[in-house]
Chains A and B, each alone.
Chain A
Amino acid sequence: MTEPILRLENVRKTFPGVIANDQVYLDIRVGEIHALLGENGAGKSTLMNCLYGVYRPDGGKIFWKGKEVDIYQARDAIALGIGMVHQHFKLVPPLTVTENVVLGLPSKREPFLDVKTLDKEIGEIAKRYGFDIDPTAQIWQLPVGVQQRVEILKALYRKAELLILDEPTAVLTPQEVEELFSVLKNLTKMGLSIIFITHKLEEVMAVCDRVTVLRLGKVIDTVNTSDTSTRELAKMMVGREVFMTVNKPELVPGEVVLKLNAVSALDNRGLKAVNDISLEVRRNEILGIAGVDGNGQTELAEVVTGLRPATGGKVEILGKEATNRSPLEIMEMGVAYIPPDRQHTGLLMDFSITENLIGKSYYEEPISKKGVFQKDAVNTFTEKAIKDYDVRTPGPELKAKSLSGGNQQKVVLARELSSNPDLLVAAQPVRGLDVGATEYVHDRMVEARSKGAAILLISTELEEILSLSDRIAVMFEGKIMGILPGKNADIHEIGAMMAGVHQTESGTVVREAEKPL
C-alpha cells in the first residue's frame, strides 16, 4: 500500500479543564474522501485546527507524506499543501473573487498587484476545475454555494493536495449539496485527498470512501463506508442506540392560533426580508418553515413575536390584532419564543439560572410583589423548573454560561413552556445540540403540541423539519414558495422550492425567472 498523505499518531489537545482530543490516530490515503464524523463537541474542529496550525497539539505526531512535521501556523499548513474550507467562510465580502484567492500571496510583479492578469488567470483555473465563477464579482454578491467554491479555489490556487472541509453542507440547499458532491468526486479523480467533517450520516454514506468516528475527543473506529450503515455509524457516534424518528401522536388541528395576512418586514440593512407572507398555524399543529439560512425566516419569527416591526400586512393571534404590538403584549397574548441563538438572545449568559428562568414572569405575582422579589416563590419556581425540565446543574445560582448547550436550551424551554403557551415560535431550537439534547427538545415540542399549542418551527435542518412538521412551508428570499403536507413530503420538491422554484396547483414545479446577481 502506498504511503498515506497524512497520518496522525496519538494526537492530544487539552484546554483548561477539557480534553478536546486524546489518542487520535488517523490516516488519509491519496485520492480518498475521508469523513470525520462526530457530534458537536466531539473534537472534530479542534483536531482539524491542530492540523491547520490554529492550535498546537499537546502531544502526538503528525506525518505528512511519511515525514514528521510541525505545524505552527496556518502558513506552515498551506506550505505543506493543506487547504481548509472553514464552516464559516474566511472570505472578505467587499473584495473580489480574485482578490480573495490571491490574498496573502506574493504577486509575480511584487509589490504590485496586476488585477487584470490575475482575473484572467483565476478565471482559467476555475474553468479547469469546472467551476462557473466570475473572478471580478465581489464575494457578497455571490450565492453561498459559489462562495464555497471560491474557498475551494483559494485552496487549489495555493496548490493544496489535501482539502479539509468543515461541515461544508450546513449552509447549502439539497441541490447545492449534490453539486458539491460531484465537485469533490471530480477533485479526487485529479488526485486530491479530502477530509470531510460532518455530523450528518447520510452525507458520509453518499460521498465518502472511509469514515473515522470521533466521540468525546477519541477515535472510536475507522471503517469503509461500504462496510457499514447509518445505523451502525449513529451508534458509534452517540455511543448508544439512536431512534431517529420522533414519536408524534396523530392529532386533528384545532382553532387557528396564528394568522398572518400579507405580512412584510425589512432586515437590519433595510432590505425587504419578509415579503407578503400569509399563513395559519392551528392548535395541535406544527408548521415547519424550511429554507436556507438567511431567507427571512429569522425576521419572520421576530415579526410574529413583536421584536421587529411589520412594514405591511396583519398578524392575528387567537383572532386578536397583534400587528406591531410590543413583545410584552404579544407574550401576554400567550406566545412563547425560542430564539435562534441561545447564547446571545436566548439567555443572559452572565446571569444565574434562576434569573434566566424567571426572565418572563419576574414582574408578576407570586414571583414579585410591588416590584420586590419574593424569595420563597422564586425558589419554588426555579426548583420545579429545574426538576421538570431536567436541567443538569449543581445549583440554580450558577451562571447560564457554565451550562452545556443542551442544558442551556433546557433553561430556555423551561422559561418559555412552563406557562403552557398557545403559540410557540421555535427558531433553530436544536442548533448546536447533541443527539440526546435534540431528542429531548423535540419531545418537549411534541408534548406542547399535544397540550394544544400551535407551533411555528423554523429550521434550516431539513431532517428536523421533516420529522416534526404536520405541514411544511418553504421560504425563499422572503416569500413562501409553497406549503406541503408533512407526511411523505418529497425532499426533492422541498429542495427545489428552497432554491427558488414555485409550487404550482398541480404539484409540479416551475422555475422562477433567474434573478441577476
Chain B
Amino acid sequence: MDNLWLGLISGVLFGFVIQRGGATDADEMVKAHLMADGRVPKFMVAAVALSALGLFGLQSVGVGRVMVLPVSIVATGLGAVIFGIGWGISGYCPGTCWAAAGEGRMDAIFALLGGLVGTLLFAQLHETLIPLLYLPTSMGPVTLTDWFGEPGGVLALFVVFSVAVWLIGLFWGSPAEE
C-alpha cells in the first residue's frame, strides 16, 4: 500500500515538473528535434548528469535500489529507431503522453491509446521477437563502471553529459533570448 502512495506522489511530482519544463507540449518537443530550441534537451541531459552524481552519493551510503537493464545491440538499437520515428512525428514519448493527456491535450490522448495498441502488439510477439532479436546480441547489464572503474564511470558520464549540454547550447537555437 505504501508503494502505491509513493508511486502516486512520485507521478504527480514528475508530471508537474515535466509540464512546467514544457516536455508535454509537442510544439516544444518538435522545436527541440528541429534544433530550433535547446531548452528541453538541455534539461533532460543535465538532469541525467546530476542524477548520476546524486545516485552515486545515495548508493555510497546504502540508499536506493538499482536495476541495470541489459544492452542488446540489435533489439535496443532497432527498438530505439522505431521509437525515434514515433517520437519525431508525434512529439510525445510514453511518459509525456500521460502527463499531456492529463493536461487535456486531445492529440496526446490518441498517442496514449496508440501506445496501448503498440504494447498489445509487442506483448503478442514477445515470444517470437525476444529470442530472435534481443537475446542473440545481448551483452548483459554493462555499465560505465565496468569500463572505467568506481568513481571513473560516474565522472566520465558527468563530464560527457556536461559537454553535451554545452554543445546543445552551441548548436541549438534559443528563441527565449531573442
Q: Say whether A and B bind each other.
A: no
Q: Which residues of B pack against A, CB within 8 Å?
A: none
A interface list, Cβ under 8 A from B: none
